[in-house]
Chain A
């Protein structure tokens, strides 16, 4: 069955350092979404990538979708304490298919 793997599971960084989390799918994805879940909170939609090789930016966050549409990454430049939380990727096998969530990367930022 479809699987979405996400690494690393945990990441601890000093404030100001960069952070990257990676997602890899066993099959080609129709699109991939990224969510952020703060401690004790619920997932909040960040962005969706659809096109092969697509790159999108949101301030300090850069999202990439691989050429083969099987992998994706989220990069945060110069992390801040407000970036703390768990970042999930979620991929769809087909346009209207269900979302398959990665296990998430829990980011801790030390001040």
Chain B
């Protein structure tokens, strides 16, 4: 099946620094990718929809200046957490829609810890 990769899988950073997370579709093209955030033992919260060649669509309450999204190509979307703070620590997961049954293929996720 389709594979989505994420890099890095884990990152620890100091408060105030910026962190970039990459999401790649490995064997298919994705004009749209989704970025989710998941807190421990909680559900997935959609943060934004990344659109290749145009601006990302952010969900209500998500700061677009804090969570910068760039969909540079048909196989790559990046999420940059700017000026990270401890409350930004979370599990960030991207997904890309497949061709069959409107499914979504999820990346393995990135665990961010901000000290």
Contact = CB atoms under 8 A, between A and B. Distances in A.
Interface of A: 6, 31, 33, 35, 41-45, 48, 88, 92, 95, 98-99, 101-104, 106
Interface string B89-107: 0000101001001111111
Contact of A43 (B45, B93, B98): B93
Interface residues of B, number: 20
B44 interface: yes
18 contacts: A6-B43, A33-B102, A42-B106, A42-B107, A42-B108, A43-B44, A43-B106, A45-B98, A45-B104, A45-B106, A48-B101, A48-B102, A92-B102, A98-B46, A99-B46, A99-B104, A104-B42, A104-B43
Given A42-B109, A45-B106, 8 more contacts: A35-B106, A43-B44, A45-B98, A99-B46, A99-B104, A101-B45, A103-B42, A103-B43
A99 B103 CA distance: 10
A16 B95 CA distance: 33
Contact of B103 (A33, A41, A98, A103): A33
A101 B106 contact: no
Nearest to B41: A106
B51 interface: no
A42 B45 CA distance: 14
Contacts of A102: 43
Nearest to A43: B106
Contacts of A43: 44, 93, 95, 106
